[in-house]
Amino acid sequence: MSKIIIVEGINVALDLFSEEFRKTYEFIGHEVYIVNPYKFNQTIFDELVSGEIDLVISFNYTCMALKVNGEFLVNKLTCPVVSYEVDHAFFATEKLKGVFTNKRFYRIVVDRDDLRYLNDFSGLDTSNYYLPHGGIAIRDNYQNLKDRKIDVLYVGSAKQYTKVDNDIYNYCADFVMENPNLPSTDVVIEIIKILTGANEDREAVSLIGRSQFDMLLHSECIALGHYRLKVLEELAKSGVGIVIYGTDWMDTPLSKYENVEIHQSITPYECLEKMHDSKIVLNSMPWFKDGSHERVFNAMLSGAISLSDESIWLNQNFESGKDCFIFNLEKIEEMVGLTKKVLANIEEYQCVADSGYNKAIKNHTWSHRAIELLKIANMY
C-alpha cells in the first residue's frame, strides 16, 4: 500500500477529475490524503515532510500552492511529484522555472504537441509524458438516443476576445485563424521566424519569452471564440435545436434564434447529467491540435453521440462515423449537413453512440488515466 497526496480545492472541474483518481486508488488499496491549498499550514507541512509519502498528484501544477513562508512542500519530498496539465504546457513552464528542485518532477500533458515542446524546447529538467484526458461515467446504463429531449447540447462560455492595439498581437491572431489546424508550437515558431528572421526552429524558440506566450494565448482565445460562435451559429441557421449552458451567450447573435435555448452556467456534474438527456454533444476543442478533451469522453460515456472538431490524436484513435463524428473547422458546412442528417434519422445512428460508449468505457475514463499515471511513476 502506498501513501498518495492529491491536491484539491482550487478548481471545481479539476476536483471532479482528482476525485476519480482518489476513488480508483482507494479501491486498489492505496492510502490517499486530500490536501487543500487554502487550508494548508505549517503543521500540515511538517506532518507531510516527516511522513512517508510515495506520490504527489496535482492537476495544472496546483502543487505549487503547497508552500509555507515561501518554501515549497514538493522540494522537501523525495517522492515523485506529478503535474497533470490539462491546459497548455507553455504557460506552466514559465511559472515553474527556478521553482522546483525535486528531481523526480513529472509533467503530464494532454496534447502531444505540448510534449514535443517540453522535450525539445522548454529547457526544464523534468520527466515529460503524454496522457489524454479521461471521462466520467455517472451511470451504469443510458437511454436510447430517440428517447432523449435535447437534440444538440453545448456547454461552455461565449467569452469573446477582441483584438488589441498591438500590430504583432493582431498579426498572430490572424495567422492562427487562417491556420486553424496548425499546432501551437508551430504557430509560435513560425511567428517568431517571420518577426525576427530566424532560420531554424531552435533559434526561433530561443527568442521566445513570456510576451510571446501571452501573445499566443490571446491569439488562440480569439480564434477559439471565433470558431466556437461560427460553428454554433451555422447550426442555428440550419434550424437544428440547440441547448446551451454557459455565460455571455445572450450577448451573441445566437440569442435571436428561436431554435436556440440559452441557460446560465451549471456545475460540471450537472453538465454530465445533461449529456445523458442529449442526442448529440458538441465539443469545441481548445487549441490542442494533437490532443484530447474530456467533453469528448464524457459525451461518449453518457451514451450520446460526440461531435467535435478534429485533432490528430482524435483522428488516430476514433473512427468518425463509427465511434463519434469529427469535423474540420475549415468545412463547417459539411458538419451542419451531417448533424441534420443524424437528427433526422437518429435511430440509425444509435450504433455510433453505442460504439463510442464501449470504446470510452474500456479505455478512456479518469480511472484508466489514474492507473496509467501509476505506471509512469513506476508504482503499478
Q: Is 261 within a domain?
A: yes
Q: Are 25 and 123 in the same domain?
A: yes
Residue 332 and residue 201 in one domain: yes
pLDDT at 99: 77
- Dist. CA 369–CA 341, nearest whole Å: 35
In a domain, 140, yes or no: no
- The set of residues, in sequence order, having a beta carbon less than 8 Å from that of 90 and lying 6+ positions away, is 114, 117, 184, 188, 213, 216, 217
Residue 225 lies inside a defined structural domain of this protein = yes
- Looking up residue 159, the CATH number of its domain turns out to be 3.40.50.2000
Any domain includes 192: yes
Model pTM score: 0.93
pLDDT in tens, 199-229: 766 666 666 655 666 777 778 888 889 999 9
In a domain, 298, yes or no: yes
- Check residue 363 and report its DSSP letter: H
Q: Could you give the residue ranges of the DSSP H alpha helices within the chain? A: 12-27, 42-50, 89-96, 112-120, 167-178, 184-196, 201-206, 210-237, 268-275, 294-301, 312-317, 332-344, 350-363, 366-376
Pair 236, 119 in one domain: no
Q: Provide the pLDDT for residue 244.
A: 98
Q: Provide the pLDDT for residue 98.
A: 72
Q: What is the pLDDT of residue 27?
A: 97
Nearest C-alpha neighbor of 34 from the set 10, 13, 50: 10
Q: Which three cell numbers stand for residue 363?
A: 479505455
Are 97 and 176 contained in the same domain?
no
CATH of the domain at 60: 3.40.50.12030
How deeply is 184 buried, as exposed, middle or buried, from its count of CB atoms within 10 A (0-12, 13-18, 19+)? buried
* pLDDT of the residue at 187: 81
Based on the domain organization, do 320 and 299 belong to the same domain? yes
pLDDT, tens digit, 9 for 90 and up, residues 59-74: 998 998 999 998 999 8
Same-domain check for residues 156 and 121: no
Asked if residue 150 and residue 124 are part of one domain, the reply reads no
List the grid coordinates of 90: 507553455
353-359 long-range CB contacts below 8 Å, 24 or more apart?
353/145, 353/300, 353/303, 353/304, 353/305, 354/303, 355/322, 355/323, 356/299, 356/300, 356/305, 356/306, 356/318, 356/323, 356/324, 357/142, 357/300, 357/301, 357/303, 359/300, 359/318, 359/323
In a shared domain, residues 153 and 302: yes
The answer on 230 and 123 residing in a single domain is no
**Is 292 among the domain residues?**
yes
Q: Check: CB of residue 215 under 8 Å from CB of residue 194.
A: no
User: What local confidence, expressed as pLDDT, does residue 201 receive?
Assistant: 66
Cα–Cα dist 280/267, whole Å: 19
Domain count, the chain: 2
Q: Is residue 211 part of a domain?
A: yes
224, 76, 236, 244: which is closest to 160 by C-alpha? 224
The residues of the chain scoring below 70 in pLDDT are 200-213
Provide the angle, in degrees to the nearest 10, between the axes of the packed helices 184-196 and 112-120. 50
Q: Which domain holds residue 347?
A: 145-364
Residue 139 counted as domain residue: no
| Shared-domain flag, residues 182 and 84 | no
- 105 shares its domain with 155: no
Cell numbers representing residue 182 in the block? 496548425
129 and 173 belong to one structural domain: no
pLDDT of residue 137: 97
